[in-house]
Amino acid sequence: ESVNHLHRPNFHFQPPKHWINDPNGPVYYKGLYHLFYQYNTKGAVWGNIIWAHSVSKDLVNWEALEPAIHPSKWFDIGGTWSGSITIVPGKGPIILYTGVNQNETQLQNYAIPEDPSDPYLRKWIKPDDNPIAMPDYTMNGSAFRDPTTAWFSKDGHWRTVVGSKRKRRGIAYIYRSRDFKHWVKAKHPVHSKESTGMWECPDFFPVSLTDFQNGLDLDYVGPNTKHVLKVSLDITRYEYYTLGKYDPKKDRYIPDGNTPDGWEGLRFDYGNFYASKTFFDYKKNRRILWGWANESDTVEDDILKGWAGIQVIPRTVLLDSSKKQLVFWPVEEIESLRGNYVRMNNHDIKMGQRIEVKGITPAQADVEVTFYVGSLEKAETFDPSFTFEPLDLCKIKGSNVKGGVGPFGLITLATPDLEEYTPVFFRVFKDTKTHKPKVLMCSDARPSSLKQDKGPLAKDRMYKPPFAGFVDVDMADGRISLRTLIDHSVVESFGALGKTVITSRVYPVKAVKENAHLYVFNNGTQTVTIESLNAWNMERPLQMNEGAL
Ligand code: DQQ
């Protein structure tokens, strides 16, 4: 089998070939970062899923180990699906994962390392007293999966959350155990929400209300915390999260009134990003997020390429100082891959101007830019009575549609004549009610590729949406920043230091490798200044799972 490298990322996590999806069981243990992931041993489409396993000292270079779990017992013969790792004092790391039995019922299982003293955790055992949880008659046995990392509470119980649904109501069940073997479902779900459908890959963790630098471990208790509940919605393939209060006595989670709980909810990432999972990094006291970015190419081309799916660059997760949302930033370790470097300072871009960033490799780069806009006088008005989704707004007001303040931003993976390009940009509106700026961020894949659709079915078309989200900034100092990691078919963008994040996958035909270009542009009447721009070539890590599997 051959692997086509044209659109293959170089510094994002990937095995050498075949399909990957959800990150599983991320953990830091005895000096190594472990990442397991859903992997098809046989091809570049979903199926034959096992837990593949890699380790890293630095979250940049990865060594592939033998698979950790594959279907082998009655309680997982139909599938070894997603789950997590918990470090249990006195026992070591324990995997909780979803097994599918021969009747396609989903069960929760556990697995233990053969040798917990081995930092590599190479071999895993599935004890015979599995499963640890089965759906009862009140539950939907084909929608019961993805146990979270468990946490230990003062009442002597371990707790884990499992995703589910009943009819159209999304549910997060909570299970308790004293010994990590016998688990009992709490009477009430920790949370649920009507009309949201299946809650895949829930994630539930505390954040600090006073320390905006460090993450918290799951069992942290203190007055100044909030909880985050994230769910992945299989209907739209989007995730959303709420901030709220977890009451450990009642085992209930109540989202804050001001964060929408449902389809309109806040997102870790407004683009191609799914089945994400965080873990607490004991080495650097941070909470790190992993997430899967699927291909958006045609299924036929995925098969021809011989590979499909990547993990995004791991991101630190913190509560924003506004306390209304989270902020995300690529782990600092990734900066070790920065090579050749160019910069630009105090450069005005007038309406209609496009400035090329030269001297780096635009198809494999890290770009940080701070824009100074100064006056917001010319901003277009935003009528809050429009119930536009950001995505609809970006669809109508693309990067070519002239505005007042913006659109301005980066044009990535472009041909010089803009036959192909993926713009990442801001457009600033004036909210007619609050008179405050309303900032839209778009990453528009529509003009990204000249490749023709192969047919009318979704699998035969590339998915090229105008991903978008609002950015909650007042721009009081007239500034806004953008960082974009470009990796051949990956455009991963962080607006306003990580307040709004958008990952997109694109497959240009011409704007590839050394034929790709990078520009800064402005299509608003307000002149915008590039206050500073720093751009780097990104090197390939020395080790990226080569030769394994
Ligand atoms: N992927 C897994 C499931 C999970 C889904 C199966 C989310 O456990 O719900 O590969 O992408």
Q: What is the pLDDT of residues 281-305, one digit of tens each?
A: 999 999 999 999 999 999 999 999 9
Q: Pocket of ligand 1, candidates 38, 40, 140: which has the most ligand atoms within 8 Å of its Cβ, to mutate? A: 38
**351 shares a domain with 319:** no
pLDDT on residue 82:
98
Distance CA 122, CA 462 (A): 38
pTM for the structure as a whole: 0.98
**260 shares a domain with 123:** yes
Within 209-251, strands assigned E span 225-233, 238-247
pLDDT on residue 549:
67
**67 shares a domain with 105:** yes
Please indicate whether residue 146, judged by its CB atom, sits closer than 6 Å to ligand 1: yes
Residue 57 lies in a domain: yes
pLDDT on residue 1:
60
Q: Looking at 276, 311, 330, which one is the last position of a domain?
A: 330
Please indicate whether residue 277, judged by its CB atom, sits closer than 6 Å to ligand 1: no
Backbone angles phi, psi at 300, to 5 degrees: -60, -45
Please indicate whether residue 98, judged by its CB atom, sits closer than 6 Å to ligand 1: yes
Residue 1 lies in a domain: no
Question: What CATH code is carried by the domain that includes residue 414?
Answer: 2.60.120.560
pLDDT on residue 144:
98
Atom of ligand 1 nearest to the CA of 83: 8
Residue 305 lies in a domain: yes
Residue 344 lies in a domain: yes
**CA 214–ligand 1 middle distance (angstroms):** 29
Please indicate whether residue 21, judged by its CB atom, sits closer than 6 Å to ligand 1: yes
Ranges in the chain, pLDDT < 70: 1, 387, 548-549
Residue 33 lies in a domain: yes
Backbone angles phi, psi at 423, to 5 degrees: -85, 145
**376 shares a domain with 419:** yes
Distance CA 440, CA 437 (A): 10
Tell which phi-psi region holds residue 406, choosing left (phi > 0), alpha (psi between -120 and 50) or beta: left
**153 shares a domain with 58:** yes
Residue 421 lies in a domain: yes
**CA 261–ligand 1 middle distance (angstroms):** 22
> How many structural domains compose the chain?
2
**284 shares a domain with 228:** yes
Q: Looking at 305, 330, 355, which one is the last position of a domain?
A: 330
Atom of ligand 1 nearest to the CA of 201: 9
**CA 273–ligand 1 middle distance (angstroms):** 13
Atom of ligand 1 nearest to the CA of 145: 8
**365 shares a domain with 236:** no
Atom of ligand 1 nearest to the CA of 200: 9
Closest CA to 37 of 300, 281, 294, 236: 294
**448 shares a domain with 304:** no
Atom of ligand 1 nearest to the CA of 82: 8
Distance CA 356, CA 506 (A): 20
**CA 200–ligand 1 middle distance (angstroms):** 7
Question: What CATH code is carried by the domain that includes residue 37?
Answer: 2.115.10.20
Please indicate whether residue 504, judged by its CB atom, sits closer than 6 Å to ligand 1: no
Please indicate whether residue 82, judged by its CB atom, sits closer than 6 Å to ligand 1: yes
Residue nearest to atom 7 of ligand 1 (CA): 275
Alpha-carbon distances of 153 from 27, 93, 252, 419, rounded to whole Å: 20, 18, 14, 57
pLDDT on residue 548:
63
- What three-state secondary structure class fits 19? strand
**184 shares a domain with 101:** yes
**296 shares a domain with 351:** no
Alpha-carbon distances of 38 from 19, 41, 499, 504, rounded to whole Å: 8, 10, 29, 21
**CA 165–ligand 1 middle distance (angstroms):** 14
Distance CA 308, CA 505 (A): 11
Q: Looking at 270, 297, 330, which one is the last position of a domain?
A: 330
Please indicate whether residue 81, judged by its CB atom, sits closer than 6 Å to ligand 1: yes
Please indicate whether residue 275, judged by its CB atom, sits closer than 6 Å to ligand 1: yes
Residue 13 lies in a domain: no
Please indicate whether residue 145, judged by its CB atom, sits closer than 6 Å to ligand 1: yes
Residue 4 lies in a domain: no
pLDDT on residue 192:
98
**191 shares a domain with 294:** yes
**392 shares a domain with 248:** no
Range of the domain at 360: 338-538
Instruction: List residues with catalytic annotation.
Output: 22
